[in-house]
C-alpha cells in the first residue's frame, strides 16, 4: 500500500509537472503572439513622410482643446517681415501665418481671419504661389464672414496644401518643409507661452515632440549648402537643436514647467528671427518672476 | 494586446505569357497605386460622418510578403485616430500594428474588409508612434494608408 501511495504520488507529481509545463507553453505562445515589439534597428530605419509624419496644426489644436482652454485672445500676432525677404524667410513666415490662422480660428476672431486671408495671399504671391491660393483665400474670407469655424479649419489645411503643391511644381521643394517648420514653431511658441504661465502637466505633455524636432533638424542638415549657411536657417538649426533636447519627457513621462518655459523661450527666439526682429520676443516667465516687459501671453493685438 | 486582421488566402493570378511593355507595367502600377489611395480615402470618408477630419498626407508603397514597412508618426494624447488602408484585390491579407516610442505594441481596434483595413486608437501619451504594415502571404500589392482624427 505504501508502494502504491509512493507510485501515486510520483504519478501526481509528474502530472502536475506536465500541467505546469503545458501552462507555461501556452503562456509563452500567447505572450510571444502579443508582444512582437519592433527593434531599435527597425525604429531607426522607420520611414518618415513629411505630410504624414509631421503633426498637422489642426491635430495639435484639437488635442489642446481636449485638455484645456488656453486664452488665445491674449496671444499677439506675429509681425510679418518688412522689406525684401529671401525666399526661405518668406516660406517660414508663410508657415507662421498659417499657424496664426489656426490660432485665430480658436479665438473665433472674424476680422482677424480676414486679415490673415489677405496676408496669406500677399505672402504666397511673393513665392509665386498666389494663383493656387486665390480661391482658398477668398473662401477663408467668406467662412470668416459667416463665422463658419469648422470649415475654416479645413480651408486652412487646404490652403497650406495648395501652397506646398505650388512650391513642388516650381521645383522649390526645400521651401515646402520650411513652411511646415514655420507653422510648427509658431504653434509651439504660442501655446507654450500660455502654458508656461498657467502650467498644467496634461497640456504640457503635448510638447513631447522631440522626434518631430529631430526630423526637422534632419531636413535642415539635408538642405543645399547655400541655403544651410544662410543666417536665418542657422538660427532655425540652433533653436530646433535645442528644442529637440528640451522636448524629451522626464522619467515620469511628463514635461515640466521649467521645460515649457525653455520651449517658450527657444521657439520665441526662432519666431523673432523669422519676423526679422532683432533679439528675442518677450516670452512668458514663471509666476514668481517679475515681468519686465509685455509678453505674448498677456498682450492683446 | 494587438488586434489584427485574420488572413484569408487569396487566389494568385496566372502570369501572362506575352511580355508586357515596361511603360504599360508602369502605367498599370500607377493606376493600381491610384486605386489604393482612392479606396483608402473612401474608407476614411466613412469616419468623417462621425466628425473625423482626414489628414492630407498619405503613405503609399508596394507591400511584399516578408518585407513589412514601418513608419513613424507623431500622435497626441486623447485625440481619436483612425488609420485607413487599402490594397485592392488583396483579400484580407493586410495587417496593421502600432507601437509606442519604446517599440511596445499599442492596443488598437481593427476593422478589415476585402482589400481594406482600418485601425483605431486613442493614445494615452503624446509622442512618436510606429506603424508596421505587412502582408501575411501572397503576391505583392500596392498599398496606401491615410489617417483621420478628432
Torsions phi, psi of A229, nearest 5? -85, 0
Cβ–Cβ < 8 Å for A71, A106 = no
Q: Are β-strands B69-75 and B127-135 bridged in parallel, bridged antiparallel, or unpaired?
A: antiparallel
Q: Given CB atoms, is B99 within the 8 Å cutoff of chain A?
A: yes
Residues A220, A201: Cα–Cα separation, whole Å? 31
Cβ–Cβ < 8 Å for A182, A239 = no
Q: Residue A239 has which C-alpha cell? A: 533653436
pLDDT at A177: 92
0.85 surpassed by complex ipTM: no
pLDDT at A253: 85
HSE-CB at A73 with a 13 A cutoff on CA atoms is: 5
Residues A245, A255: Cα–Cα separation, whole Å? 12
Q: Given CB atoms, is B109 within the 8 Å cutoff of chain A?
A: no
Phi-psi category of residue B113: left, alpha or beta, with phi > 0 → left and psi -120 to 50 → alpha? beta
HSE-CB at A99 with a 13 A cutoff on CA atoms is: 31
Which of A42, A59, A157 is nearest residue B79 as measured by Cβ atoms?
Answer: A59
Report pLDDT digits (tens) over A226-269. Answer: 999 999 999 999 999 999 999 999 988 899 999 999 999 999 99
Residue A120's nearest CA partner among A137, A139, A102 is A137
pLDDT at A154: 85
Say yes or no for a CB contact (<8 Å) between A208 and B127. yes
Residue in A36, A51, A59 to test binding to B, most B beta-carbons within 10 Å: A59
Q: Shortest Cα distance from B58 to chain A (angstroms)?
A: 6
For residue A145, give the 3-state DSSP assignment. helix
Residues A107, A75: Cα–Cα separation, whole Å? 9
Q: Which residues of A touch B1 (CB under 8 A)?
A: 34
Q: Which residues of B touch A210 (CB under 8 A)?
A: 128
Q: Which residues of A touch B147 (CB under 8 A)?
A: 52
Cα-Cα-Cα-Cα dihedral sign, residues B53, B56, B62, B67:
negative
Report pLDDT digits (tens) over A179-235. Answer: 999 999 999 999 999 999 889 999 999 999 999 999 999 999 999 999 999 999 999
Residue A284's nearest CA partner among A200, A212, A191, A209 is A191
> Facing residues of B147 across strands?
B83
User: What single string gives the DSSP state of each residue in A112-135?
Assistant: HHHHHHHHHHHHHHHTT-HHHHHH
If contacts are CB pairs under 8 Å, which of residues 195-224 in chain A contact chain B?
202, 205-212
Q: Given CB atoms, is B74 within the 8 Å cutoff of chain A?
A: yes
Q: Given CB atoms, is A63 within the 8 Å cutoff of chain B?
A: yes
Say yes or no for a CB contact (<8 Å) between B57 and A49. yes
Residue with cell 482677424: A112
| pLDDT of residue B8 exceeding 50 | no
Q: Given CB atoms, is B7 within the 8 Å cutoff of chain A?
A: no
Q: Given CB atoms, is A40 within the 8 Å cutoff of chain B?
A: yes
Residues A190, A201: Cα–Cα separation, whole Å? 17
Q: Given CB atoms, is A42 within the 8 Å cutoff of chain B?
A: yes
If contacts are CB pairs under 8 Å, which of residues 134-173 in chain A contact chain B?
153-154, 157-158, 160-161
| pLDDT of residue B145 exceeding 80 | yes
Residues A103, A113: Cα–Cα separation, whole Å? 9
pLDDT at B20: 64
Say yes or no for a CB contact (<8 Å) between A46 and B2. no
Which of B74, B97, B105 is nearest residue A53 as measured by Cβ atoms?
Answer: B74
Report pLDDT digits (tens) over B71-128. Answer: 999 999 999 999 999 998 888 889 999 999 999 999 999 988 889 999 999 999 999 9
Q: Shortest Cα distance from A161 to chain B (angstroms)?
A: 8
Show the 3-state SS of chain A. Answer: CHHHHHHHHHHHHHHHHHHHHHHHHHHHHHHHHHCCCCCHHHHHCCECCHHHHCCCHHHHHHHHHHHCCCCHHHCCCCCCCCCCCCHHHHHHHHHHHHHHHHHHHHHCCHHHHHHHHHHHHHHHHHCCCHHHHHHHHHHHHHHHHCCCHHHHHHHHHHHHHHHHHHHHHCCCHHHHHHHHHHHHHHHHHHHHHHHHHCCCHHHHHHHCCHHHHHHHHHHHHCCCHHHHCCHHHHHHHHHHHHHHHHCCCCCCCCCCHHHHHHHHHHHHHHHHHHHCCCCCCCCCCCCCCCCCCCCCCCCCC
A42: nearest CA in chain B?
B70
pLDDT at A14: 52
Q: Residue B61 has which C-alpha cell? A: 508603397
pLDDT at B17: 54
pLDDT at A72: 87
| pLDDT of residue B9 exceeding 60 | no
Residues A277, A269: Cα–Cα separation, whole Å? 9
Q: Which residues of A touch B74 (CB under 8 A)?
A: 53-55, 209, 211-212
Residue in B78, B99, B124 to test binding to A, most A beta-carbons within 10 Å: B78
Cα-Cα-Cα-Cα dihedral sign, residues A159, A162, A164, A170:
negative
Q: Which residues of B touch A253 (CB under 8 A)?
A: 125
What residues contact residue B98 under an 8 Å CB cut-off, 6+ apart? B2, B105, B106, B108, B119, B121, B129, B130, B131, B132
DSSP B103: S
Report pLDDT digits (tens) over B11-24. Answer: 334 444 566 666 66
> Facing residues of B132 across strands?
B70, B97
pLDDT at A176: 92
* Section A41-60 average pLDDT: 91
Residue with cell 499599442: B106
Q: Given CB atoms, is A32 within the 8 Å cutoff of chain B?
A: no
| pLDDT of residue A61 exceeding 70 | yes
Residue with cell 508618426: B73
Cα-Cα-Cα-Cα dihedral sign, residues B58, B61, B64, B66:
negative
> Facing residues of B83 across strands?
B119, B147
Say yes or no for a CB contact (<8 Å) between B55 and A36. no
Residues B44, A267: Cα–Cα separation, whole Å? 34
Query: Based on C-alpha coordinates, what's the Rg of chain B?
Result: 16
Q: Given CB atoms, is A37 within the 8 Å cutoff of chain B?
A: yes
Amino acid at each position: 500500500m505504501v508502494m502504491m501511495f509512493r507510485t501515486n504520488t510520483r504519478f501526481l507529481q509528474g502530472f502536475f509537472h506536465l500541467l505546469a509545463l503545458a501552462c507555461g507553453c501556452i503562456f509563452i505562445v500567447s505572450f510571444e503572439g502579443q508582444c512582437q515589439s519592433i527593434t531599435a534597428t527597425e525604429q531607426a530605419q522607420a520611414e518618415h513622410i513629411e505630410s504624414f509624419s509631421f503633426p498637422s496644426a489642426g491635430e495639435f489644436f484639437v488635442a489642446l482643446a481636449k485638455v484645456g482652454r488656453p486664452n488665445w485672445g491674449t496671444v499677439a500676432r506675429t509681425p510679418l517681415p518688412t522689406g525684401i525677404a529671401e525666399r526661405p524667410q518668406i516660406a517660414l513666415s508663410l508657415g507662421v501665418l498659417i499657424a496664426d490662422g489656426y490660432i485665430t480660428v480658436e479665438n473665433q476672431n472674424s476680422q482677424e481671419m480676414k486679415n490673415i486671408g489677405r496676408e496669406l495671399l500677399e505672402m504666397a504671391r511673393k513665392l509665386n504661389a498666389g494663383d493656387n491660393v486665390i480661391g482658398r483665400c477668398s473662401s477663408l474670407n467668406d467662412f470668416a464672414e459667416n463665422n463658419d469655424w469648422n470649415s475654416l479649419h479645413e480651408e486652412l489645411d487646404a490652403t497650406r496644401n495648395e501652397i506646398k503643391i505650388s512650391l513642388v511644381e516650381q521645383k522649390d521643394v526645400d521651401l515646402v518643409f520650411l513652411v511646415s517648420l514655420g507653422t510648427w514653431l509658431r504653434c509651439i511658441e504660442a501655446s507654450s507661452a500660455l502654458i508656461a504661465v498657467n502650467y498644467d502637466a496634461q497640456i504640457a505633455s503635448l510638447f513631447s515632440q522631440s522626434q518631430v524636432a529631430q526630423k526637422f533638424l534632419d531636413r535642415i542638415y539635408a538642405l543645399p549648402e547655400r541655403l544651410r549657411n544662410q543666417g536665418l536657417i542657422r538660427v532655425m538649426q540652433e533653436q530646433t537643436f535645442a528644442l529637440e533636447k528640451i522636448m524629451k519627457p522626464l522619467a515620469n513621462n511628463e514635461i515640466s514647467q521649467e521645460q515649457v518655459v525653455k520651449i517658450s523661450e527657444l521657439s520665441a527666439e526662432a519666431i523673432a528671427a523669422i519676423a526679422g526682429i532683432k533679439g528675442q520676443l518677450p516670452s512668458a516667465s514663471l509666476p514668481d518672476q517679475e515681468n519686465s516687459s509685455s509678453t505674448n501671453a498677456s498682450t492683446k493685438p | 494586446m494587438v488586434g489584427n486582421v485574420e488572413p484569408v488566402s487569396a487566389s494568385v493570378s496566372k502570369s501572362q505569357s506575352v511580355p508586357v511593355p515596361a511603360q504599360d507595367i508602369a502605367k498599370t502600377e500607377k493606376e493600381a497605386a491610384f486605386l489604393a489611395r482612392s479606396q483608402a480615402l473612401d474608407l476614411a470618408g466613412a469616419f468623417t460622418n462621425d466628425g473625423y477630419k482626414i489628414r492630407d498626407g498619405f503613405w503609399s508603397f508596394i507591400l511584399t510578403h516578408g518585407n513589412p514597412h514601418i513608419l513613424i508618426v507623431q500622435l497626441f494624447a486623447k485625440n481619436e485616430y483612425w488609420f485607413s488602408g487599402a490594397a485592392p484585390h488583396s483579400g484580407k491579407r493586410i495587417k496593421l500594428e502600432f507601437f509606442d516610442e519604446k517599440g511596445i505594441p499599442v492596443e488598437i481596434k481593427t476593422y478589415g474588409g476585402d482589400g481594406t483595413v482600418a485601425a483605431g486608437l486613442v493614445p494615452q501619451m503624446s509622442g512618436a508612434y510606429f506603424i508596421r504594415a505587412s502582408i501575411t502571404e501572397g503576391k505583392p500589392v500596392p498599398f496606401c494608408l491615410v489617417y483621420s482624427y478628432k
